[in-house]
Structure 1
């Protein structure tokens, strides 16, 4: 969701380079946030003797985070305009605040165990992998996130403009919170 800040930086500096530089800072912050969340769970997954308890805790954590997002919906106004030099920190803080990486925790912990689907086989491979897989997951997730956000930022900057964004913007916070609760609930059911 940081791509509007990339558009803002590009428009303020009247430079496509500023847009690309902002996207780089956003990608760095997001990758660090995802890695910060997945790293501890990657380390904990190695403790097979505690796997059931870890899965329960991760499920409750994801559900709790979803509920917290539904309760505290107000965003701080100080986050409306961020200097380009602080975009990596902003991206890290907002990604942590919005639960980046929490959706990956149930997959990383091996809660998806259906062997017939290629996606579930991939999830099983993630769960049985080592600590380096946390880095691979963070990098793959960040590449997908920055590609999607970068395309949106470039399209708005180059063709659509801010008027399009102001007329078509909708807030996905409730959907995100509900999806965290749903995934956490499913993980809780499968963990017991």
Structure 2
């Protein structure tokens, strides 16, 4: 959801280049958040005897984060007006708070029980568990997909729809996102035990 900040950066600077620099900064922050979550888990994979505890911890972390986001609906004020020079930091903090990378942890740790029925999850699990380089590639591809989809929104609003579109059509998905984190965490706990 960083694309509105990219539009804001371009509107504040009144240059198209600011839009694209902002999108790049957002992508860097998001990628760093993914790396911060995925790499510690890749190091922990050799601790197979601790797998159940790690899975339980990851599920509890998801439930805790989702519950926190459900009851604390306000965003921190220091993140409300982000100058273009701090977008990578904002992207990192927002991605960490909203669970970027955490969505890949169930696959990475083998918690995802759809592996038997879903070839995509099975392939991702095999690749990520066997190679840190592939885990890195997954993080990069995810970041590119996030940047492309958010970038399309930002370019569309900045070039064609305008600021008035945002003020009249904004909707907030924070509660849906927080609830989905809790749901995934509860399902993971039920599957583990």
Report TM bin, short chain. Answer: over 0.9
Show the 5 A alignment for 1:1-192: 1-113=1-113, 114-192=115-193
Contact 1:112–1:123 under 8 Å retained in 2: no
Query: How far does residue 126 in structure 1 lie from its aligned partner after superposition?
Result: 4.2
Q: Which SS does the other structure have where 1:124 is aligned?
A: helix
Kindly tell me the number of residue pairs found equivalent between the two proteins: 192
- Aligned residues: CA RMSD: 1.5
TM-score, normalised to structure 2, is 0.93
Q: Which SS does the other structure have where 1:110 is aligned?
A: coil
Distance 1:59 1:123 in 2: 19
Contact 2:128–2:135 under 8 Å retained in 1: no
Q: Which SS does the other structure have where 1:171 is aligned?
A: coil
Structure 1 unmatched runs, 5+: none
TM-score, normalised to structure 1, is 0.93
Structure 2 unmatched runs, 5+: none
Seen in structure 2, the aligned counterparts of structure 1 residues 187 and 134 have a Cα distance that, compared at 3 Å, is: same
Seen in structure 2, the aligned counterparts of structure 1 residues 25 and 49 have a Cα distance that, compared at 3 Å, is: same
Query: How far does residue 14 in structure 1 lie from its aligned partner after superposition?
Result: 2.1
Distance 2:104 2:127 in 1: 10
Q: Which SS does the other structure have where 1:74 is aligned?
A: coil
Q: Which moved more, 1:134-143 or 1:148-157?
A: 134-143
